[in-house]
Amino acid sequence: MRFLSSNEADWERRHPVTLLFFLLVHLYVLTYLNDSIWLLLGLFGLLLMERRFPLAMLGVILAFLLISLAPFVLGWRISVGGVTNQLIPLATFLFGMIWVNRFMRLERLLPFLNKWPRSTRLLYGGWALVPTMERAVRLSLASHPRRDWQEAVVVGIDSQRLEPVYVTNRMRRFERHDWVQCLVLASFGAIAGMVTPVVWLLYPYLTKGGVRDALVILGRRT
């Protein structure tokens, strides 16, 4: 839904350091602040409103729940509270990683590996591009005849078989608005840790490039 869509152009402009910082803070929230039922409900609601709810992932959670409750059939005593305490962090982490994929693309971190061995860059590039390739194939299946996309897949595989190359832009300088973005990001993370993790879910929707645009306008006037 458009009113819930953060400015994708803003995320494309962000420095890789800022994106890495965002990913680390997000992983911290999902790992250490994931015992909040409100965080899980927030992720659940956002995925529903954005029409990106993962039904397959819901099956994984249900399977985990059934396995956890299986000893009850054998007459064993189990703690429902213990199962719930394990299920909430698991569901929060899975939904959180699917939600962050809406904003964070792993191939944007490829500039960090420019000086690494070529094999490492190829391995990370192939792994990072899997979601993008999956999305492209899904769109092709929906909008093109079967024969066209089959030929395109064959041509693409042949062109990358001998010399796979991942083209990355040079990392630009870390500018003032990048520092401001990191400061705002850290502030949201701190508030999420001290008050409620739900605050963290607001960050992508309240920073739609407004900070950067405001700094650019202010810089022109001064």
Quick one: three-class SS letters along 152-219?
HHHHHHHHHHCCCCCCCCCCCCCCHHHHHHHHHHHHHHHHHHHCCCHHHHHHHHHCCCHHHHHHHHHH
Average pLDDT over residues 3-31: 77
Cβ-based burial of 68 (10 A; exposed 0-12, middle 13-18, buried ≥19): middle
> Nearest CA to 87 among 32, 146, 35?
35
pLDDT tens digits, 173-196: 888 888 888 888 899 999 998 988
Does residue 5 carry a pLDDT above 50? no
Does residue 164 carry a pLDDT above 70? no
Average pLDDT over residues 39-54: 82
Phi-psi region of 6 (alpha: psi -120 to 50; beta: other; left: phi over 0): beta
pTM above 0.85, yes or no: no
Q: Classify residue 52: in a domain, yes or no.
A: yes
Q: Classify residue 13: in a domain, yes or no.
A: yes
Q: Are 185 and 203 in contact (CB under 8 A)?
A: yes
Does residue 212 carry a pLDDT above 60? no
Give dist(CA 61, CA 87) in Å, integer. 8
Q: Classify residue 138: in a domain, yes or no.
A: no
Give dist(CA 121, CA 191) in Å, integer. 36
Q: Classify residue 99: in a domain, yes or no.
A: yes
Average pLDDT over residues 121-139: 63
Q: Are 92 and 43 in contact (CB under 8 A)?
A: yes
Q: Classify residue 148: in a domain, yes or no.
A: no
Retrieve residue 3's tokens.
Answer: 């009113």
Does residue 204 carry a pLDDT above 60? yes
Average pLDDT over residues 138-147: 67
Average pLDDT over residues 45-60: 78
Report residue 159's pLDDT band, with 50, 70 and 90 as the boundaries: low
Q: Classify residue 137: in a domain, yes or no.
A: no
Q: Classify residue 12: in a domain, yes or no.
A: yes
Highest mean pLDDT pick, 23-27, 61-65, 97-101, 105-109 = 23-27
Q: Classify residue 143: in a domain, yes or no.
A: no
> What is the average pLDDT value for the chain, to the nearest integer?
74
> Nearest CA to 183 among 17, 43, 35?
17
Retrieve residue 196's tokens.
Answer: 């409620």
Structural domain of 186: 2-129+166-221
> Nearest CA to 21 among 139, 108, 98?
108
Number of domains in the chain: 1
